[in-house]
């Protein structure tokens, strides 16, 4: 395949790949048949939306896409047990993971119980360092001694010993992590990624599973002649968890996020309002804000602070408490950034010295904070286009986190190593995993993991190709066009947003914004100009070339967005890559 615009190697070392002739043909046919803008049709065609389904895709509804909750094993029993606990005024505990998905899942249950008029449950979120991920024996034993029902959300599927310790209480697991060959001793284990499930709903995050349980509870209430709470009002939490947990935005997930953003725009949840205000959002949140503004702040407590802060923020209905919690999380997030930057620099240097050619990129360091190793693993994965694992060593053990690339199931490989005894503990899902390893078996474990990932095809490519949807000119990039394209969203994992090239453009000015960001203005010589920003790119190859452009012309690639600034809507390019225009000026599609 010919490189798009002739760019075989961009400034960031990537090959540019265009939409392809078949996508172009489908987009043209769709535009003619439906009257939709061609740029929108190009995005729909690239996402695989058939012409006959275009209108439905642009208006996804929960009614049309909602799966039957009873298609998941143990769902009826789980909902019935929760309803019995409410009816009998039993004491309920919610044991949740310390990330956004866990916090949102816990808040869903707490909010629903509040709307049902039930008492507030006990919230238990383990400390990342002292207790680690998931239920543990002491915590479950203590909770069982004072509660009749324990709900494990976003955890529990692999916690056989811990759940067995919950003697005297019923345990219901609502999870999405990969299951093993046997299930833990629980009254119900609702998990679309159990080995005996079809996998049709395997793309759900834990909050999506919890929401389906609440849908089933509502159905059982209706069958008994009673009314349940308005579940639509809870979709802001499901949307946040879905995006922050990088669940693919396909099927029901897309409808969850679409509707959840509408709920969020009403500013009814005290915690999210406070978080948006602290982050100085000046417009209704979009999917981007869920992943990159709200998510890191909600996560900050679990990463380097008090583990339950995020869940408490999402669950509270007290604006004053929400404000205090949001400010605390904002401070922790700033601290997290500093810790992450230090670990990232060390991990990147170590991984580069080891080489980016192996199927697995990994790094391990003494005292690296467990709360940031997952974020750093994401950075390594992006740099190498390979699965990555980062491990913090402490004493005789290391605790790490990994991130994968499309088509490589990291969670299954890590789980296998745990079964083989090469790892002390490990699990996760296709795109992310956590693990514990003995220090003296670290090299052996990483070599074995690399071997397993190689069998899945990891390591066969170089730096990731930059996939582009087409060419735009500055004068055509209007607010109206972007709003039309956004109708195909929300965009994210599994449904990447469109990326365009502005060809043969002149840089009017460029400067460093803050410490690391690149800001510039460009035009194509017709009088139309656009602003662009490249976050964290000032010291990289983009900054080196564009800050000292000397009048040279460039092809500029990235995502076009609406920037709300000074009460106005301004179009800007979120710049991701560039190439000298001489690389392929003669091949620019017009």
- Both tokens assigned to 380: 């390594």
Distance, CA of 153 to chain centre: 18
Q: What is the pLDDT of residue 1?
A: 63
Is 588's pLDDT higher than 70?
Answer: no
Question: What average pLDDT does this structure show over 15-42?
Answer: 91
Percent of the chain with pLDDT strictly greater than 70: 98
Phi and psi, residue 298, nearest 5°: -60, -35
The pLDDT value recorded for residue 585 is 46
Tell me how many degrees the CA angle 124-129-130 measures, rounded to the nearest 5: 65
Q: Report pLDDT digits (tens) over 331-364.
A: 999 999 999 999 999 999 999 999 888 999 999 9
pLDDT tens for 165-218 read 999 999 999 999 999 999 999 999 999 999 999 999 999 999 999 999 999 999
Domain 4-18+468-587 belongs to what topology? OB fold (Dihydrolipoamide Acetyltransferase, E2P) (2.40.50)
Read off the pLDDT of residues 264-301 as tens digits, 9 standing for 90 and up: 999 999 999 999 999 999 888 999 999 999 999 999 99
Is the pLDDT confidence value at 523 over 60? yes
pLDDT at 536: 83
Q: How far is CA 61 from the centre of its chain?
A: 22
**62: DSSP letter:** H
Look at strands 361-366 and 388-394 and give their pairing: parallel
Query: In angstroms, rounded to a whole number, what is the distance separating the alpha carbons of residues 348 and 345?
Result: 5
* pLDDT > 80? residue 564: no
CATH class of the domain whose range is 65-330: alpha beta
Report how far apart, in Å, the C-alpha atoms of 466 and of each of 8, 104, 172 are. Answer: 10, 33, 44
pLDDT of residue 590: 47
pLDDT band at 41 (very low <50, low <70, confident <90, very high): very high
Predicted confidence at residue 583, as pLDDT, reads 53
Q: How far is CA 467 from CA 57, 470, 496, 514, 559, in A?
A: 22, 9, 10, 29, 11
Cβ proximity of 242 and 253 under 8 Å? yes
Measured CA angle at 547 (ends 544, 553), to 5 deg: 100
Other beta carbons within 10 Å of 148: 17
* pLDDT at res. 119: 85
Task: Say what angle helices 252-265 and 206-223 make with each other, to 10 degrees.
Answer: 80
Domain 355-455: CATH architecture, name and number where available: Roll (3.10)
Question: Mean per-residue pLDDT for 487-500?
Answer: 91
Domain ranges of the chain: 4-18+468-587, 20-59, 65-330, 355-455
């Amino acid at each position: 395949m010919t490189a798009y615009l002739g760019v075989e190697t961009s400034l960031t070392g990537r090959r540019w790949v265009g939409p392809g002739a078949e996508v172009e043909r489908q987009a043209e046919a769709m535009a003619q048949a439906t009257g939709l803008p061609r740029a929108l049709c190009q995005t729909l065609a690239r996402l695989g939306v058939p012409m006959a389904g275009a209108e439905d895709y642009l208006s996804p509804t929960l009614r049309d896409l909602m799966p039957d909750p009873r298609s998941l094993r143990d769902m009826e029993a789980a909902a019935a047990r929760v309803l019995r606990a409410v009816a009998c005024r039993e004491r309920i505990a919610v044991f949740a993971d310390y990330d956004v998905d866990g916090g949102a899942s816990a808040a869903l249950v707490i909010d629903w119980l509040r709307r049902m008029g039930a008492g507030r449950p006990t919230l238990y979120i383990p400390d990342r360092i002292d207790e680690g991920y998931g239920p543990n024996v002491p915590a479950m034993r203590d909770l069982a001694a004072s509660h009749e029902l324990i709900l494990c959300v976003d955890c529990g599927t692999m916690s056989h010993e811990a759940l067995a310790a919950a003697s005297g209480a019923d345990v219901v697991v609502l999870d999405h992590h990969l299951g093993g060959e046997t299930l833990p001793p629980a009254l119900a284990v609702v998990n679309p990624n159990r080995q005996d499930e079809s996998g049709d709903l395997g793309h759900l995050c834990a909050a999506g599973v919890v929401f389906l349980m609440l849908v089933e509870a509502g159905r059982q209430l209706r069958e008994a002649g009673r009314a349940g709470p308005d579940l639509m009002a809870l979709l802001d939490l499901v949307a946040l968890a879905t995006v922050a947990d990088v669940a693919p935005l396909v099927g029901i997930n897309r409808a969850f996020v679409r509707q959840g953003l509408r709920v969020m725009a009403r500013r009814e949840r005290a915690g999210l309002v406070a978080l948006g205000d602290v982050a100085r959002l000046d417009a209704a949140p979009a999917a981007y804000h869920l992943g990159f503004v709200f998510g890191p702040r909600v996560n900050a407590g679990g990463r380097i602070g008090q583990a339950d802060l995020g869940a408490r923020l999402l669950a509270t209905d007290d604006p004053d408490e929400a404000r205090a919690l949001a400010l605390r999380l904002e401070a922790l997030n700033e601290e997290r950034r500093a810790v992450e930057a230090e670990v990232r620099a060390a991990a990147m240097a170590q991984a580069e010295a080891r080489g980016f050619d192996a199927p697995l990129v990994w790094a391990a360091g003494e005292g690296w904070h467990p709360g940031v190793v997952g974020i750093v693993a994401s950075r390594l994965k992006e740099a190498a286009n390979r699965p990555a694992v980062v491990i913090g060593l402490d004493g005789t053990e290391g605790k790490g986190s990994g991130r994968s690339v499309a088509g490589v199931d990291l969670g299954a490989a890590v789980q296998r190593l745990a079964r083989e005894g090469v790892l002390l503990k490990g699990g996760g899902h296709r795109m992310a995993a956590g693990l514990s390893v003995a220090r003296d078996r670290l090299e052996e474990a990483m070599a074995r993991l690399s071997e397993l990932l190689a069998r899945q095809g990891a390591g066969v490519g170089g730096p990731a190709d930059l996939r582009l949807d087409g060419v735009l000119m500055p004068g055509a990039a209007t607010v109206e066009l972007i709003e039309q394209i956004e109708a195909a969203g929300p965009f994210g994992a599994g449904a990447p947003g469109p990326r365009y090239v502005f060809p043969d453009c002149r840089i009017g000015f460029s400067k460093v914004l803050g410490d690391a960001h690149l800001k510039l203005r460009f035009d194509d010589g017709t009088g139309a100009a656009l602003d662009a920003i490249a976050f964290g790119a000032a010291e990289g190859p983009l900054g080196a070339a564009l800050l000292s452009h000397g009048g040279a012309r460039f092809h500029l690639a990235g995502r076009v967005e609406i920037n709300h600034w000074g009460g106005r809507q301004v179009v800007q390019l979120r710049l991701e890559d560039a190439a000298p225009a001489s690389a392929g000026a003669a091949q620019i599609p017009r």
